[in-house]
Amino acid sequence: MRTASLLLVLSFAPATLVAQGNPNPVPRDPSQWPQHSMDRPRPPVVMPGPVGTSTPPSDAIVLFDGHGLEAWRSTNPTAGPAPWRVTRGYFEVAPGTGGIATRERFGDVQLHIEWSSPTEAGDSGQDRGNSGVFLMGRYEVQVLDSWENPTYADGQAGSIYGQFPPAVNPIRAPGEWNSYDIVFHRPRFDGQGRVTTPGRVTLFFNGVLVHDEQVIIGPTSHGRRSAYETHDGALPISLQDHGHKVRFRSVWVRRLEPTAP
C-alpha cells in the first residue's frame, strides 16, 4: 500500500522543464494539452458582480484618464504618437494602424485596465473582439469576446495566451465593460541569461480570481510555445491591434519594485 500511495502522489506531480545548471526549473503546463487544443475543457461560466469603475490609488501612474494618449506611442518603427481614437472617456483600437505601447518602461507591476468588445459580434472564435495586454511586450493576457463564443481554452479572455486558461469565464456581454486587475512579477535572469525565477501572473477578471501566482513558461505566442530569452528588467506595456474595435478606459499602473536606472 505504501508503494501504491507513492506512485499515486508521483502521478499527480507537475512536470518541470529542467535546464542544465538552472536552480529554479520552469514548470511545464501541468495539463499537457497541446497548445490551442479545441478538446481542452473550457472554463465554466460564472456571473461577475455589477459593473464599476476603479479610482486610481495615490501612488498610481495614470496611463489613461479619459482624455488623451500622451502616455502611449505607436509600436510601429517610427514610434510616433499613438494613432488610436479617443472619444467619450475611452480609447478604441484603430484597425490596421498597429499596436500601442507605454512611453514609460515597467518591471513588476499592479495593472488595472478596463475593456469592452464591439457590440457587433462578427465572426466566431478568435475573430471576435480580439486584442491583448502584453506585459513587457512579451507576456500576453488575452482580450477576446468570449461571451457565448467557443474557442480554444488557452485563447479565451483572461487566458495567459497559448499557455493557461482562466479558472472560470466571468465575461460580460459585448458592449459592457470588463476589468482586469493584474499583478505581474517579471522573470529574472542570471549573468549567463538563464532563468533564475520565471515570471508570474495573478489576475482578477471582473473581480473574480482566475490566475493565482501562475508561473509563465516563456513568452506567449501563437501556434508554438517559446523558451525564455533574457531581456531588460523594465520594458513597455503594450496593447494589440488585432483588427477589432476593442475599447479601453481607466488604465493605471503601480510599480512594485524600484524604478530601473
**Residue-range domain boundaries for the chain:** 59-255
> What are the residues facing 187 on neighbouring strands?
none
CA neighbor of 82 nearest in space, from 72, 90, 91, 92: 72
CATH 2.40.160.40 is held by the domain 59-255: no
pLDDT value, residue 106:
97
Cα 200 to Cα 154: distance, rounded to the nearest angstrom = 16
CA neighbor of 239 nearest in space, from 54, 125, 62, 115: 115
pLDDT value, residue 119:
85
Hunting for cell 455589477 — which residue is that? 50
pLDDT value, residue 53:
66
User: CA 59: distance to chain centroid?
Assistant: 23
Local confidence band at 9 (pLDDT 50, 70, 90 cut-offs): very low
Which residue type does 29 have?
D
SS3 155: helix
> What are the residues facing 81 on neighbouring strands?
73
**Mean pLDDT rounded to a whole number for the chain:** 87
Local confidence band at 1 (pLDDT 50, 70, 90 cut-offs): very low
Higher local confidence (pLDDT), 260 or 159: 159
Residue 65 is placed in which grid cell? Answer: 484618464
Q: What is the pTM of this model?
A: 0.83
209-221 pLDDT, tens digit each? 999 999 999 999 9
pLDDT at residue 76 above 60?
Answer: yes
Residues in the chain: 261
The enclosing H or E element of 63 equals strand 61-64
